């Protein structure tokens, strides 16, 4: 079992929605902290991997007072999303996002609001060329710039970080759609914005931020 793409935290369930007897088995939670005593918050995927060996590919853990159903393994996640799409179609309700967005927006809305926003977003993106040749052209143009960047190393056998440059390339495709222009990879304003986005993503995605109400 690998470490990437194997876990999906698909259900953040409050105690008022489901009783413990309806949830999959998992480690016994302690008062207040739940199962945080057995989960390494710096590397939660490793802790969840070990727990899956004990409780199976579908199990429950408690991040503080919040119950989380964990799906472990590609086949388990595939089965959930393809064969049980209705049950697993909802978004996780994370306290900090609820405070920030008040349940609105594209990414963090819920229920009928999310379905409405999803339909609107897909319709709007199609107007911008999603699924059409026009979008393919923008992607190919960015691929050419990406190839030139890689070629600038002249095949030298020395390591360089591809994560940031690939992030820049994807962001440039989005910018070209929304703003009609792209940024150079070394543009300081562009790099600053991407850095801030990445820092916020890491912060908001950390277990402690998700657990705090």
Report residue 62: phi and psi, to 5°: -115, 115
**Annotated domain spans of the chain:** 7-89, 129-204
CA distance 189 to 179: 15
Tell me how long the chain is: 213
The closest of 30, 18, 12 to 88, measured between CA atoms, is 12
Structure tokens at 103: 């349940």
DSSP states along 27-38: PPPBTTTBTTTS
Q: Is the pLDDT at 147 greater than 80, yes or no?
A: yes
Does 7 have pLDDT greater than 50?
no
What stretch of H or E contains 62? Answer: strand 58-63
Task: With a cut of 60, say whether residue 2 has pLDDT above it.
Answer: no
First to last CA, the chain: 32
What pLDDT score does 207 carry?
62
> How far is 142 from 177, CA to CA, in rounded Å?
12
Share of the chain above pLDDT 90, in %: 10
Residue 12's pLDDT is 39
With residue 13 as reference, give the H or E element that holds it.
Answer: strand 7-13
| Whole-angstrom distance, CA of residue 51 vs CA of residue 63 | 14
Q: Indicate the pLDDT class of residue 59, thresholds 50, 70 and 90.
A: very high
Q: What pLDDT was estimated at residue 36?
A: 87
Average pLDDT over the chain, rounded to an integer: 78
DSSP letter assigned to residue 21: G
How high is the pLDDT of residue 91?
66
Is 61 exposed, middle or buried, given 0-12, 13-18 or 19+ CB atoms closer than 10 A? Answer: buried
**Which of the residue ranges 55-64, 108-117, 185-194 would you say has the lowest mean pLDDT?**
108-117
Q: Would the pTM count as exceeding 0.75?
A: no
Which whole number is the average pLDDT over 114-131? 76
Longest dimension (CA), the chain: 61
* pLDDT of residue 199 exceeding 70: yes
């Amino acid at each position: 079992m690998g470490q990437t793409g194997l876990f999906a935290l698909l259900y953040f369930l409050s105690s008022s929605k489901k009783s413990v007897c309806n949830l999959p088995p998992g480690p016994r939670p302690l008062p207040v902290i739940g199962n945080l005593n057995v989960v390494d918050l710096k590397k939660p995927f490793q802790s969840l991997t070990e727990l899956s060996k004990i409780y199976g590919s579908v199990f429950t853990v408690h991040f503080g007072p919040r119950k989380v159903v964990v799906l472990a393994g590609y086949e388990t996640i595939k089965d959930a999303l393809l064969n049980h799409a209705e049950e697993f179609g909802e978004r996780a309700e994370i306290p900090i996002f609820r405070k920030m967005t008040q349940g609105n927006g594209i990414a963090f809305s819920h229920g009928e609001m999310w379905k409405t926003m999803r339909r609107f977003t897909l319709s709007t993106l199609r107007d911008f060329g999603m699924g059409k040749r026009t979008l393919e052209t923008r992607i190919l143009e960015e691929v050419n710039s990406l190839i030139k960047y890689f070629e600038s190393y002249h095949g030298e056998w020395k390591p360089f970080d591809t994560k940031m440059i690939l992030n820049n390339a994807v962001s440039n495709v989005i910018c070209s759609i929304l703003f009609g222009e792209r940024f150079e990879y070394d543009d300081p304003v562009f790099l600053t914005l991407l850095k801030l986005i990445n820092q916020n993503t890491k912060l908001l995605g950390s277990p402690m931020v998700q657990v705090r109400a």
